[in-house]
Chains A and B, each alone.
Chain A
């Protein structure tokens, strides 16, 4: 890996992504053993620094770290005490004094992992920051599509839903494009971020056009409690216009797969019948998630020698 930290897919080059995916395939094998543990990171300390709660992602990193024999510490400063008592940089410096070997950061505001990485000697893995990036989620989505389709190059990937607030969308846009796929996006216009075309995607207004000939349909979760009435008039209208169901999916390729980072709002962004359809619909790949995160931890924290001796690029 060229960079010390994994802050976003935007920073990775194609061969680095391919190396992570290749390593993840080896890690999958570890997960199938009776004793699911290798000594790779023995004696090293992983800190899960989650300012925003996320049981699934945190647990996935925790299991990944433990399978690599790292000592895993979960640290979840409550946001309220943070704002009152301690700046983010204070927290980073406190952590640095504990000499971790890798720090996984999740925060509700974009850029916090980067600011912490600027202060820390240990490598930082971004576990999701605001609407910026969620690189490990995108990497596991890439791994999943690679398994299902055998390739990424030349595929047409459609991302549907709340692009404005989605870090998963941004990371996937970078990831799929870097591996040679064409990415289209569709959403109610208030949920299309300004200038998203500059990321190289094709913006289409209607779902039918967006799905036309797609190999992969990635459906984003709608935070209905926050955005109903603000970015779209009602759940009913959203489901009718941008909800993916069996009838609309007919515009995509026959063998198209549908992905959802979960948890699903059934009947909103994804219909009941489609949500239960197997095969053809891929839900959050928890197993891929662990293997992928093992690969990331191995590649970013498992270098020989003291990672702190290495110079930031």
Chain B
């Protein structure tokens, strides 16, 4: 079908400040018209009454695990999970096997994505070779084949001199350097947030200052280098405040926060469930509040899932040994909609943080519904109630703290490049 008619939904387009009930018509892969009572002929009709019609969500931070760790996830399964979660594009991190530090690996990922993934895949290349924090990667060549950003993610570059050069060099390609800001010497053996809860549980703590000190360093280095720093998964009140102050003095910084850091505290670790272990860890209620305020006031630009699949056997070990990370793609919509239900974000500001800003940060199309632009669209029912069962989801893994929980809000339809790739009643439709 080359024409799709989305009828009677609440159209939310932050790029055009549009928030009204009307129709959207898609033709030949592009947005053909947005307006009231379009009555096209020969179009596949999607009734969106009571739903939001928004630009497809864009995830700045996923781990698709391919190449090399296909037992956790691959580009096909991760792409399907993304489509089912309402995402039309995901940016995937470089910690694959081999590491995405060479144009051949970037090329492989893009090639796989073209054949296997229902959603757009934007590879993030490593900032240093082998994620070792020593020698910077060939950023020009990597960007040339399609890398959209550079990051060593969980392998924080601890040498400040190397970090400075990476930021400086990134100006050549104008792509953001994404940091997982945790000073590893301060993290030490920490496996959860340091505080009264870690003390009660007897688990080694990872203090907030491990993040804040590294964010402070990277902000100063980005200022010195005149580069675009993107702070991944902000989790602490201190980091939010540092970013706010840096932005005010003109530093080119953007930031993201995960659904879990917006909604869960370290008290979720009380049952020693390894699906509450991630890096950075779940923090205190005050940190959660600060992250929500930061997202609401624009200090934090975007929501990013940090979708991190791990096999069941890898998580069914003791809390110290378990790998960091949880699934995020299929639960982001209902979890983050909590901020709309609480009144902290209006629907259009919610869409801005989940679609428009992430696309802007990566300098990719998407995040808007302007006529003539490629049709990446999501239809969300913000009131739909459903129970999340990872075993019935599209990811290969099941590591979610929300398993078995009743959720409110769900993506019903995802459209990428004018193609219907997901429908809640029919599943993932392509490729």
Across-interface contacts of A111 in B (CB, < 8 A): 201-203, 272, 318-319
Evaluate contact between A109 and B319: CB separation under 8 angstroms: yes
Whether A153 sits at the interface, judged by CB under 8 Å, is no
A118 to B274 CA separation, bound complex (whole angstroms): 13
Is B199 in contact with A110, judged by CB distance below 8 angstroms?
A: no
Q: When the two chains form their complex, are residues B272 and A114 in contact, meaning their CB atoms are under 8 A apart? A: yes
B194 to chain A, nearest CB (A): 5
Complex: A167 Cα to B202 Cα, angstroms: 7
Q: Is A154 an interface residue (CB 8 A)?
A: no
Interface string of A3-18 (1 = CB under 8 A from B): 0000000100000000
* Mask: chain B, 304-348; 1 = CB below 8 Å from A; 0 = not: 000000000100111111000000000000000000000000000
Q: Given A114-B271, A194-B195, are A109 and B320 neighbors across the interface (CB < 8 Å)?
A: yes
- Interface membership of B374, Cβ < 8 A: no
Indicate if the CB atoms of B203 and A130 lie closer than 8 Å. Answer: yes
Residue of A nearest to B194 (CB): A194
Residue of A nearest to B315 (CB): A87
Instruction: Quote the shortest CB–CB distance from A114 to chain B (angstroms).
Output: 5
Q: Is the CB of B316 within 8 A of A132?
A: no
Say whether B200 contacts A199, CB under 8 Å.
yes
The verdict on B123 contacting chain A, using a C-beta distance below 8 Å, is no
Contacts of B195 in A (CB 8 A): 194-195
Give residues in B with beta carbon < 8 Å to A: 194-205, 207, 271-272, 313, 316-321
Decide: B203 and A195 in contact? CB cutoff 8 A: no
Contacting residues, chain A, for B319 (C-beta < 8 A): 109-111
Provide the residues of chain A in CB contact with B199, threshold 8 Å. 170, 193-196, 198-199
Whole-angstrom distance between the alpha carbons of A111 and B319 in the complex? Answer: 7
Asked whether A110 lies within 8 Å of B203 as measured between CB atoms, the reply is yes
A residues bordering B, Cβ < 8 Å? 10, 83, 87-90, 107, 109-112, 114-115, 118, 129-133, 167, 170, 193-196, 198-199
A-B contact count (CB 8 A): 72
Residue ID in chain B nearest A133 by CB atoms: B202
Min CB gap B282→A, angstroms: 15
How far is B108's CA from A283's CA once the two chains are assembled, in angstroms? 65
- CB contact under 8 A between A88 and B272, given known A170-B202, A198-B196, A198-B199: no
Contact A83 B321 (CB under 8 A): yes
**Ranked 8 nearest A-B pairs via Cβ:** A132-B202, A111-B272, A195-B196, A198-B196, A131-B202, A87-B316, A110-B202, A109-B318
Q: How far is the CB of B226 from chain A (nearest CB, A)?
A: 38
- A198 proximity list for chain B (CB < 8 A): 196, 199-200
- The reply to whether B207 and A110 form a contact with Cβ atoms under 8 Å apart is no
Distance, CA A109 to CA B203, complexed state (A): 8
State how many angstroms separate the Cβ of A94 from the closest Cβ of chain B.
13
A218 to B316, alpha carbons, bound, how many Å? 36
Looking across the interface, which residue of chain A has its beta carbon closest to that of B199? A193
Min CB distance, B206 to chain A, in Å? 10
B194 near A132: Cβ-Cβ < 8 Å:
no
Task: Please state if A10 and B203 are interface contacts (CB–CB under 8 Å).
Answer: no
Q: In the complex, are the beta carbons of A87 and B202 less than 8 A apart?
A: no
- Are A130 and B271 CB-contacts (below 8 A) given A111-B319, A115-B318? no
Give Cα A194–Cα B203 distance, bound, in whole angstroms.
11
Contact A194 B196 (CB under 8 A): yes
- A107 to chain B: which residues have CB within 8 Å? 318
Say whether A110 contacts B317, CB under 8 Å: no
A115 with B272, Cβ < 8 A, contacts A132-B202, A194-B198 known: yes
